[in-house]
Structure 1
Amino acid sequence: MNAPANSNRKAELLANTVEHVAIDQYDARPIIDSMRKMSFTSRDTARAADIWSMSLEDGDCSTWLTLAGSTSAGGCMHIYRDMLKHGMIDVVVATGASIVDMDFFEALGFKHYQADSTVDDRELREMYIDRIYDTYIDEEELQNCDGTIYEICELLEPRPYSSREFIHEMGKWLAAGNAKKPDSLIEVAYREGVPIFCPAFVDSSAGFGLVKHQVERMKAGKPYLTIDAVADFRELTEIKLKAGATGLFMVGGGVPKNFAQDTVVCAEILGHEVDMHKYAVQITVADVRDGACSSSTLKEACSWGKVDVTWEQMVFAEATTVVPLIASDAFHRGAHKNRKKRRWADLFAK
């Protein structure tokens, strides 16, 4: 890696950190109550909040969070952490970037920064600053994150791991005193027994550390660990079989959305009869006309046998504008206080 030019200029651009909101800092109930009497996306948002609260009130329902996109970098990271901490979420299915490049990255003590929209991206490249729309991340720090994944690989037994199992080891490593920022999503999940699945785990900062681990081990003629994506699917389906009724809170779409929904079909293929996901909320800006998974409606998912349409709501909005409202509304209505924490990670304890 070449040293970036003009360190003073880089420091100037990386001056304003993104500050994460937390659901106990504000009470969104009055806003949601008002939106319920409005129209368009406001009323959709209120109905989504109502459905999510219903899923938390349902004592038989296991609630799952799916994450795609960059809302964790954009200020929602602590919302997701707090949802786990307060027993509002039993399972997380996410992109590798959400978990490694954003959450684990900040657990190592690094930050995301508000971007200056007037800067030329070629200048950013020269300074090793990566841009996520209007947010910056220091590439040098991100490569430190890559290297930390490599170090964790070197500590583990060389064998196949599901992403859930590997992320569990990351949480264990953080909890052992290595976290510079305590209470990351990964560390809270480790402590609370909430499994995190990243079905496309290597498509993230983790991938670079894993590749380095494999290449160096192969050169040395030594065994190396691998990520077993099939085990991810099997384990998540096992949870669906144990859980019975399930509710999905989906931020964005992509692989996490489809992976979580597909557990119903997988259970059927394995000879089990399970209910479709009973409650489902998705927040997305994807256009339904492109036929993609991210934009496919929850009613469409019903045709595939994945989601029941009785309690479902699509919210077509940029997620950082509505996730804080829905999550805070549910938190302050307090249905989670009567929920039993499922601790599905304990199913796989050895």
Structure 2
Amino acid sequence: MPDKRRLLQTPVESFEVESGLTAEKILERMGGISFQGRNLATAHSIWQKMLGDNCIIFLGVAGALSAGGLRLALAHLISYRYVDCVVSTGANLYHDLHECRGRHHYQGSPQTDDRALQAAHIDRVYDTLMDEDEFIDNDNWIADFAAGLEARPYTSREFLYKLGGHLWRDTKRVGILTAAYRNQVPIFCPAIADSSIGMGLSQARHSTPGSGHIDVIGDIIESANIVIRKRRTASVVLGGGTPKNFINQASVEAEFYANGISGHRYALQIVTDVPHFGGASGSTLDEARSWGKVAVDADQVTVNADVTLALPLLASALAATAPRPLEQRKIVTFGLGERVMSMDGVAFPEGRFEVEP
């Protein structure tokens, strides 16, 4: 028989509307309501705990968030080191590059005639429109850049760092790629072939044999070495997808080569997918424990919501609350411009896991 008195202790607090509430105050009040509102408030609290802990924070970015207008919010998280390492789909990085190059995504409608759009060389992502001819120019720009690099394999981390640097020198515009370059934050893109960046790389391979070679297995080794070196890690996942599993498998891979690693100490995901169809995007954080991806005693929360609804409020609240824990936080420094990645001035083994003696 459950203890009735113990369970019925904390009343739900109705949200009181008040003029001039900040994002921080809104989330504070949402902590007293129910359902996904309370979960979003919990996400804010857990993210602050991550920043106050001596851990590496991985950010997973899936979906079409850059096309949907969130690229500068993500760049803010990177620039102010609310995160330490990014894992993204190629699409988010490509659409970020598109806007850094002075192009736009346009508001449209999901009811638009797609046959008419195709005839006009206009691409659609739900209610957002893009110029296909500008995309072709982007692909050529990426291809020319990749073809000009030394003909050898690159991890996606090294390639994207160099691409971000080239983009910054060319445009001087803030975005995900340029913020990561300027702040020495690694970006991994394990499914880079599944994007227009991959298409640009394939064009480079065609025009300049030996170019356009991305070593995604090297990405696995480098991401696991970050976990091995740091031990305490956190996962923030926006939208599930390949980035979610890549972040989680880094912890599992690290366990094979080092002692004392037991999954991410903090885990936060904002997803719309559901678990009962068996896909990774909708899988629960409790399920992740069975794999050793998330620590059994991890501080965790799942927010079942559209990221375009949740992230603007969450990131705006963090802009007010994160500076306090950041003052005490020891920021990890990465060396990203070379073939071999370094962390706090010490290089990782080239092409190998950092195995304990």
Is residue 2:333 matched to residue 1:339?
A: no
Name the counterpart of 2:307.
319
Q: TM-score, normalised by structure 1?
A: 0.87
Give the distance between the partners of 2:136 and 2:108, measured in 1 at CA: 20
Percent identity over paired residues: 37
Q: What aligned pairs does 1:40-59 form with structure 2 within 5 A after superposition?
A: 40-58=35-53
1:329 deviation in Å?
A: 1.6
What is the aligned counterpart of 2:280 among 280, 293, 296? 293
Give the distance between the partners of 2:198 and 2:298, measured in 1 at CA: 39
Paired letter, 1:90: D
**Any runs of at least 4 consecutive aligned residues in structure 1 with deviations exceeding 6 A, and if so which?**
none
Give the distance between the partners of 2:335 and 2:219, measured in 1 at CA: 12
CA contact (8 A) 2:122 2:130 kept: yes
Paired letter, 2:174: D
Q: How many residues align?
A: 317
| SS of aligned partner of 2:69 | helix
CA contact (8 A) 2:190 2:242 kept: yes
1:223 deviation in Å?
A: 2.9
CA contact (8 A) 1:129 1:136 kept: yes
Name the counterpart of 1:120.
113
What is the aligned counterpart of 1:107 among 97, 100, 108? 100
Give the distance between the partners of 2:231 and 2:257, measured in 1 at CA: 15
Name the counterpart of 2:66.
72
Is residue 2:148 matched to residue 1:162?
A: no
Paired letter, 2:237: M
Is residue 2:271 matched to residue 1:284?
A: yes
Q: Whose RCO is larger (CA < 8 A, sep 6+)?
A: 1
Paired letter, 1:307: V
Paired letter, 2:189: C
Paired letter, 1:105: H
Structure 2 residues not aligned, in runs of 5+: 1-20, 348-357
Paired letter, 1:348: M
Paired letter, 1:211: S
Q: TM-score, normalised by structure 2?
A: 0.85
CA contact (8 A) 2:264 2:298 kept: no
CA contact (8 A) 1:197 1:232 kept: yes
Between Structure 1 and Structure 2, which shows a larger proportion of helix residues? 1
Is residue 2:241 matched to residue 1:254?
A: yes
Is residue 2:178 matched to residue 1:190?
A: no
| SS of aligned partner of 1:93 | strand
CA contact (8 A) 1:192 1:343 kept: no
Give the distance between the partners of 2:335 and 2:177, measured in 1 at CA: 13
Paired letter, 1:259: F
| SS of aligned partner of 2:33 | coil
Is residue 2:87 matched to residue 1:93?
A: yes
1:271 deviation in Å?
A: 4.7
1:214 deviation in Å?
A: 1.3
Give the distance between the partners of 2:298 and 2:206, measured in 1 at CA: 50
Give the distance between the partners of 2:37 and 2:298, measured in 1 at CA: 20
1:84 deviation in Å?
A: 1.1
Paired letter, 1:40: F
The CA RMSD over aligned residues, in Å, is 1.7
Paired letter, 1:166: F
What is the aligned counterpart of 1:35 among 30, 33, 37? 30
